[in-house]
């Protein structure tokens, strides 16, 4: 059995992998250095590899992604027939939800304005601020990231409403759960609107000009899922005219964002370059590796695996 590992692992983690699969040949290769031949020889791949390399991976039986997003790999024709696809759902909620919370506080406490004043050596009180306590938060996309964010907002005194693909039993930290068809009814209620959605036909521009007009003029939009979920041109206009209070974006429709794009200069915007889900927080990588190792043990023992992706929906199976 050949196992190709592109997820960074330390020596202890490699020893654990060897104990799980003692008879396997294991190649540890960074994703950007994997060759066509190396991908073609692998029965198991732990980590992402460039999609073009997978077309010739005739021996592949299972690939464990190191991201939660799996839509590109689940697309028709990407993987050979019968390959199991699992993702890293559960690894990113901590890091991303904390960045979402930090972005909200940055805007509602006017820290963006104070940062600008500091750069210009201006000593000036920017006036009133708002609070998370007593607010309403609409969480669109209720997987690991959305639920982690919801728990943090609830802990700080916000009433949380959730939107998810399938309505299941409501957790205690959520006041109500709905499906996406209720979005337009819920937007006017929210002080904070978060998006942690995968890319799919149903999520394309789920927030457009119409939805932005339905939001409070003090509301903050947070997007950490896919840039395609927001109509960028409509958002730029909404920020310029004060139609909404601000936005926190870690993803945009075109990455990297062109240097001349008007979004860069939109007011009341915190823009980060798709980094909240990287390995900048060491705990994130540890969680990714642990998911991969648990799934490897399950695969070899014929047991159920975590976060198996449904190729029909592009989402993990419930």
Q: Are 257 and 235 in contact (CB under 8 A)?
A: no
Residue 222 sits at the vertex; the CA angle it makes with 200 and 210, to the nearest 5 degrees, is 70
Q: Are 149 and 100 in contact (CB under 8 A)?
A: yes
With a CB cutoff of 8 Å and minimum separation 6, the contacts of 87 are 64, 65, 67, 68, 69, 70, 307, 309, 316
Q: Are 39 and 54 in contact (CB under 8 A)?
A: yes
Rounded-to-integer distance, Cα 141 and Cα 93, Å: 12
Q: Which of 98, 261, 274, 286 is catalytic?
A: 274
Rounded-to-integer distance, Cα 91 and Cα 303, Å: 21
- Residue 295 CA: distances (Å) to CA of 63, 93, 95, 193, 272: 10, 19, 22, 34, 32
Rounded-to-integer distance, Cα 256 and Cα 241, Å: 25
| 81 is an active site residue | no
Q: Which of 110, 152, 226, 287 is catalytic?
A: 226
| 255 is an active site residue | yes
Q: Which of 270, 238, 267 is nearest to 252 (CA)?
A: 270
Q: Which of 64, 196, 181, 65 is nearest to 137 (CA)?
A: 196
| 43 is an active site residue | no
Spacing of C-alpha 14 from chain mean position = 27
Q: Which residues are catalytic?
A: 226, 255, 274
């Amino acid at each position: 059995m050949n196992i190709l590992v592109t997820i960074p692992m330390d020596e202890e983690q490699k020893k654990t992998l060897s104990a799980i699969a003692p008879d396997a040949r294991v190649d540890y290769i960074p994703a950007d250095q994997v060759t066509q031949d190396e991908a073609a020889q692998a029965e198991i791949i732990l980590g992402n590899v460039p999609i073009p390399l997978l077309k010739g991976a005739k021996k592949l039986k299972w690939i464990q992604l190191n991201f939660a997003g799996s839509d590109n790999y689940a697309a028709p024709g990407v993987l050979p027939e019968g390959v199991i696809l699992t993702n890293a759902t559960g690894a990113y909620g901590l890091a991303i939800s904390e960045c979402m919370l930090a972005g909200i506080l940055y805007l509602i406490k006017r820290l963006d304005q104070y940062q600008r004043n500091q750069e210009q050596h201006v000593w000036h009180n920017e006036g009133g601020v708002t609070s998370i306590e007593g607010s309403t938060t609409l969480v669109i996309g209720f997987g690991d990231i959305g639920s982690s964010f919801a728990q943090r907002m609830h802990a700080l005194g916000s009433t949380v409403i959730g939107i998810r693909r399938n309505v299941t039993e409501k957790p205690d930290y959520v006041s109500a759960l709905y499906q996406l068809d209720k979005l337009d009814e819920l937007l006017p209620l929210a002080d904070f609107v978060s998006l942690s959605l995968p890319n799919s036909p149903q999520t394309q521009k789920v927030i457009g000009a119409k939805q932005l007009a339905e939001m409070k003029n003090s509301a903050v939009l947070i997007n950490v899922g896919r840039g395609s979920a927001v109509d960028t041109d409509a958002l730029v206009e909404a920020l310029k005219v004060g139609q909404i209070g601000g936005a926190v974006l870690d993803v945009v429709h075109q990455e990297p964002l062109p240097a001349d794009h008007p979004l860069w200069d939109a007011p009341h915007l915190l823009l980060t370059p798709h980094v909240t889900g990287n390995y900048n927080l060491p705990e994130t990588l540890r969680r990714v590796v642990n998911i991969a190792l648990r799934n490897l043990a399950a695969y070899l023992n014929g047991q159920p695996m975590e976060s198996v992706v449904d190729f029909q929906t592009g989402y993990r199976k419930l």
